[in-house]
Amino acid sequence: MDYPKLAQTILKEIGGSDNIDSVMHCATRLRFQLKDKSRTSKERLEAIDGILTVIYSGGQVQLVAGEDVNKVYLELQKRIVSPTTTESRAVSKGNLFEQFVSVISGVFLPVLGVIAASGILKGFLTAALIAGVMNKDDGTYQILFIASDAMFYFMPIILGFSAGKTFNTNPYITATIGAALVYPMLIQLHQAETPLSFLHIPVMLMNYVQSVIPIIIAAWFTARLDHVLQKIIPVSLQLIFIPLSLLVIAVPATLLAIGPVSIYASKLLADGSLALYHLSPVVAGFLLAGVWQIAVIFGLHWAFIPIFINNIAVYGFDPINALLYCTVFAQTGAALAVAIKTRQTKLKTVAYTASLSGFLGITEPAIYGVNLPSRKPFIMASIGSAAGGAIAGFFSAKMFGGFASGGVFGIPMFISAEGMDWGFYGFCLSLFVAFLVSALLTITFGYKNDSVSILDENGPAS
């Protein structure tokens, strides 16, 4: 693929570099915040060779470019004139839900790969302990465990930096506030239950290790305070006195109010999600898994990611993502069925490639390149997902290792520290059932060889 040409075409159809407020990318999507969306055309963007589809969601224009998205992104960076376009991440001006999704995606998107990698490594280490390949006293295990746990332990620092960029304030300040939350002395005072006060105001000591919500709210508060201080403090004094004022005000405010309130909110969020789950795990799995990939298409899944991570921080496990994990295998099964059945050479190649990506946890090529264009395979995959989610709920499957977006390498994350149990076996069964049901339904009902494919420019295949 000619990536420079593709980047140049995208830049032209997106309205030029002067129309870009910010641009990021995830595993398969270029995510633009534009100044004027009317300068773009969804039809023209989708007509670009190399773009699978275009989605307007969360105030963003999202171009699904597939696994080569990073190469396209790097070429875009060379052509974007404004130096702020890849650094600042303006929050969406849409409705409250769109703004919320925009904030969450802005905070978590840059670190999601590291979170997933850390969680997968934790899962593999657990499997290695159970299999007797390693033991906890082994130096190799200890170093790899440190590598897997560092992201979660110091999450307030890393999310603080990301949130600072998202809220357009100094990310080093917000990272420092995150560091204050996990400062060793503060942890020791909490563990020893030693009283602490600030200006004679008692501080409610909490454990902020692995926490998510406190630093995001603290970063938002810091950004608002930063904007106020920029209007008050003379420009010649801002370099030192704005950071100084932010630290003096924001750190105590976080420890006195924002942190404790956020921790209680985190607990309520975790309790609420588990309460809904426990009403009927089977029904929850059936419904959530059945519609999950639709939520992914519209970018609504970002609203759930803090819940997954927060549940693990509060309880050490998360059952919700265990219900949804099978959806990746369902979409993969449908795509593989299309690859086996189709007589369209180009579609067959794309479907086999998308199936391989699906097994590795990336479903966009399968969804946008194969299943959605053929319509019925996507429906069959949703049915298979619902069946798999119901089975995961029936066996009370749980995720223990952190967070992963899907794929075979994330499976060990669902093994508990006590070893493989019926929850894990049921989880594996949910993946198999989702894959098999989706594949069989697609082969039997979901795809006909005379179906029109967007990849077939000459009309129906013979």
Q: What pLDDT does 81 receive?
A: 62
Note whether 179 and 225 are same-domain residues. Answer: yes
Note whether 312 and 429 are same-domain residues. Answer: yes
Note whether 241 and 371 are same-domain residues. Answer: no
Q: What pLDDT does 17 receive?
A: 81
Q: What pLDDT does 313 receive?
A: 79
Note whether 241 and 115 are same-domain residues. Answer: yes
Split into its structural domains, the chain has a count of: 3
Q: What pLDDT does 177 receive?
A: 96
- Indicate whether 453 belongs to any domain: no
- Indicate whether 138 belongs to any domain: yes
Note whether 342 and 245 are same-domain residues. Answer: no
- Indicate whether 55 belongs to any domain: yes
Note whether 302 and 259 are same-domain residues. Answer: no
Question: Of 269, 301, 331, which residue is a domain's last?
Answer: 269
β-bridge pairing 60-64 and 29-34: antiparallel
Q: What pLDDT does 407 receive?
A: 82
Task: Return the active site residues.
Answer: 26
Q: Which helix (H) or strand (E) holds 131?
A: helix 112-131
Amino acid (one-letter) located at 347: L
Compute how many other C-beta atoms are within 10 angstroms of the C-beta atom of residue 146: 10
The pTM of the full predicted model, rounded to 2 decimals, is 0.73
Are 65 and 51 in contact by the 8 Å Cβ rule? The answer is yes
Note whether 234 and 320 are same-domain residues. Answer: no
Give burial (CB, 10 Å; 0-12/13-18/19+) of 143: exposed
Note whether 133 and 20 are same-domain residues. Answer: no
Are 385 and 370 in contact by the 8 Å Cβ rule? The answer is no
- Indicate whether 327 belongs to any domain: yes
Note whether 161 and 252 are same-domain residues. Answer: yes
Which residues in the chain land under pLDDT 50? 83-90, 451-462
Q: Tell me, what CATH number does 32's domain have?
A: 3.30.1360.60
Q: Which domain holds residue 228?
A: 96-269
Share of residues in the chain with pLDDT > 70 (%): 91
Note whether 300 and 415 are same-domain residues. Answer: yes
Note whether 47 and 167 are same-domain residues. Answer: no
